[in-house]
Structures are given as structure tokens and as C-alpha cells.
Amino acid sequence: MATETGTATIIDGKAFASTLVTRVGAAVERLVQSHNVKPGLAVVIVGEDPASQLYVRNKGETTLKAGMRSDTHRLPEDTTQEQLLALIDQLNADDGIHGILVQLPLPQHIDANAVLDAISPDKDVDGFHVVNAGRLAVGQDGLVPCTPLGCLMLLKDQLGDLSGLNAVIVGRSNIVGKPMAQLLLGESCTVTIAHSRTKDLPALCRTADILVAAVGRPEMIKGDWVKPGATVIDVGINRVPSKDPVKAAEGKTRVVGDVAFDEAAAVAGKITPVPGGVGPMTIACLLVNTYTAACRTIGVQPDDLLAR
């Protein structure tokens, strides 16, 4: 799903994600009919952070749209770690719940790693559990973090076979950069992971047939860092002041990626925009993971959701 511009093809992640949610919905319907199993996702949020509340609401609505069960557990800011762990235990034991997501960030008095590690790896639809990181590293079936999974789906949709392509991933976080590298290695790309200590990053980026930016620095990757015809996937979500000085003075912001879009689009073959590129794929892949987790509990092979 993409539109042509002057040079690069703009990869429309929003449209792809919407189609994917519809496909998951159809697969869910088949699962309910064939096995009487309705995938269920439990989202846990602690505290009142407005951005987190919005994310959780969106997740709940999209889950219901795909015909799944959606439970949201809203806990007060002063919830103790023990209370949260008790809820996770309860959800781990609930056969109607196939996916558990704890919205981050958690309040400071709670050890986020202890909570994430308490989620059963088979219900860990965020794919953050160390067991799932290990499964991905050794090529076993597990649950893969949603954002890199979404990037991979876009890449396969756009490029088909990725084998032999040079991929450079800028960023080595556990939730984006590292799993992205593992996934592309699994597709037989030649993968390089760059980070803040990498020398001559522009030259390295220019070697990439696939360039993935997951840095968190607004428009850091410039047009002349991009190899002509490359596919650029911009994961970054950065808030910067509005272009309109009056609005900027009022504190209004806009969202940009880690790639200087206009410059890069003049050189790249294909590029994701921000917003409307990778972002919408993250929630869609959360549903993919919940559906996959539900299929595995009953030993059913999940449908190929990329198949037309």
C-alpha cells in the first residue's frame, strides 16, 4: 500500500494497518467458528498519564473492532507492586485472556522489569519478555515486539524477498533496534546495527538498501545519508514546536520522525512518513500477536495474515 510522489514511493502504514486489522478480524471470526475460541487481550494501566490513557483507549477500541475480547484494568497511581503482580498472576491463569499488556511507563515506585518478567511469555503480546527475546534470537516461534514486526510486514509488502539486502538499523534498544535486527537477519539480510558510538554514521547509512531509523532524534538522518533508491523506515516519534511561530509560541507542537523526510524522499525509492507510517502498525501488530497467542493455546496454526 503506497502512493507515488515526485521521487520516493510513500509507504502508507495507516492504510496497511487498517487492512491488517480487517484481516485479523476475519481470522478471529474463523477461529471462533472453528474452535469456539475468542482471542482476549487484557491491558493494564496504572495512574492517570493522559498520553497513556489515550493509547490504552485506542488499543481497546481496535481490539473490539477485530472481534476480540478487550479488558482494560485501570489501577490508581498508588497501586503497590504486589497488587500489580497479583493482577498479572490472575491474568496469567485466566483461560479467556491470551494477551497481557502493561502500559508503560509505570509509576516510579514499581519495578517495570519485575512486572514485565511476571507476564507469562506465551501471553506476552508486547514481546518484551526475556524468553521471547531469546526465542527470537535463536529463531524459535515466540511473540515478537509489535513495532519491529510492523516494520517487517511493511518491508515484505513493499519489497517481497529481502534476502541479500544490506540493512542498517540506527538504534539498539531492546524494543525496536535489536528485535528489528533479528527479524531482518531471519530474512537473510546482511544486518548492521548502529548506535551513538558508531563512527561515520552517514557513510554507513549510505550502504543500506534498507535503512531503519529508531533513534528518537528529530530529523537526524539527512537526505545525503540515504542511498539512491533505498527503502527508508522511520520509527521515530518526536514532538517539535509547530512550524507556525504564533502557534509555537502558544506551545503547539507537531510530530516528526528521525528522518528529514523531504530530503530523504527526494533520494529514497520508498519511505514511511511520520505520522502515518510505522505508528499505526504497532497497534495492528498487537492484535496479530494476540490472535497468534490464542491460536497457539489450542495448537492451531495461525492464518498467514500477509496472504492476499
Residue 235: all three cell numbers together? 520509527
Query: Whose Cβ is closer to ligand NDP: residue 126's or residue 187's?
Result: 126
Least distance between ligand NDP and beta carbon 234 (Å):
9
**Cβ-contact 32, 296 below 8 angstroms:** no
DSSP 229-252: T-EEEE---EEEE-SSHHHHHTT-
Residue 19, φ and ψ in degrees, nearest 5: -65, -40
Q: Which of 12, 59, 123, 178 is catalytic?
A: 59
Beta carbons of 268 and 7 less than 8 angstroms apart: yes
Minimum CB distance to ligand NDP smaller for 106 or for 235: 235
Cα 230 to Cα 278: distance, rounded to the nearest angstrom: 17
71: β partners? 42
What's the grid cell of residue 48? 492517570
222 is catalytic: no
Give residue for cell 495448537: 299
Q: How many CB atoms lie within 10 A of CB 174?
A: 12
Q: 10 Å Cβ neighbour count for 57?
A: 13
Q: How far apart are CA 297 and CA 25, in angstroms?
A: 18
Residue 301 among the catalytic residues: no
As beta bridge partners, residue 9 has: 4, 270
Q: What is the CA radius of gyration of the chain?
A: 20
Question: Residue 19 class from Cβ within 10 Å (0-12 exposed, 13-18 middle, 19+ buried)?
Answer: middle
All three cell numbers of 244, joined, read 507556525
Least gap, CB of 223 to ligand NDP (angstroms): 17
Indicate if 59 belongs to the active site: yes
Q: Where do contacts with ligand NDP occur on this chain (CB under 6 A)? A: 147, 170-173, 175-177, 194-198, 201, 214-217, 235-238, 278-279, 282
Which cell numbers in the block locate residue 69? 475480547
Residues that are catalytic: 59, 103, 126
